[in-house]
Amino acid sequence: MYEITDTDMVLERLTGPTMLDVLARRPWQVGSLGRTLGRLHDRLHALPAPKWLPQRFATAGDDRVLHLDLHPGNVLLTRRGPVVIDWRNAGAGDPAADVAMTMVTVGSAEVPGLAVRLGRSLLVHSVRKGCRTDPAGRIREVAEAKLADPYLTPAEAAWLRRRAGGRTGQPGC
């Protein structure tokens, strides 16, 4: 960030494809890209949350910085490495909730074709392999929170309702 005013922010211009674009062009890289996404979670969650961040999915006092929308469409792959973008949902809280949000966002995404759905499952599995945080304890709560998204398709909402209803041990989440 170079400058902030009451109405504007001047940010560094980043160039590079999104992780989602690379996945579409090079699906054989799904494992390594998923592990990269998991490691990005770990790097982010190493940061203590500043007091001014809104508290979401709170802890017992060790809140960390959460992105809460960290998926392949929000990671630019630049020459200097991956950069996380789109911070409008950021908050302070439990890292497990942030990883769970990635799991339910990727898991519930309506995607066409069997090959793509299998790739999605591999991506979710690879994120978990690359990340030290276990999201299992927050899946149901995060699925319930995500159901408030007004832009969900009916199929995405149905998938989330199944997770919120207690079936959290399913593959892909």
Q: The tokens 């041990």 sit on which residue?
A: 169
Sign for the pseudo-dihedral over CA of 25, 26, 31, 34: negative
- 20 in helix, strand or coil? helix
Cβ atoms of 143 and 160 within 8 Å: the answer is: yes
Lowest pLDDT segment from 7-16, 74-83, 96-105, 163-172 = 163-172
Kindly tell me the burial class for residue 154, based on how many C-beta atoms sit within 10 Å of its own C-beta (0-12, 13-18, 19 or more): exposed
pLDDT tens for 111-149 read 777 667 788 899 999 999 999 999 999 999 999 999 999
C-alpha torsion 125→120→73→22, nearest 10: 100
Question: Which residue, 135, 115, 113, 138, is CA-closest to 125?
Answer: 135
User: Please, which pLDDT band fits residue 100 given cuts at 50, 70 and 90?
Assistant: very high
pLDDT attached to residue 167: 44
**Given a cut of 50, is residue 84 above it in pLDDT?**
yes
User: Please, which pLDDT band fits residue 96 given cuts at 50, 70 and 90?
Assistant: very high
Question: Which residue, 149, 152, 96, 106, is CA-closest to 126?
Answer: 106
Q: Is the pTM of this model over 0.85?
A: yes
Q: How far is CA 140 from CA 41, 42, 67, 114, in A?
A: 19, 21, 18, 26
Give strand pairing partners of 92. 55, 65
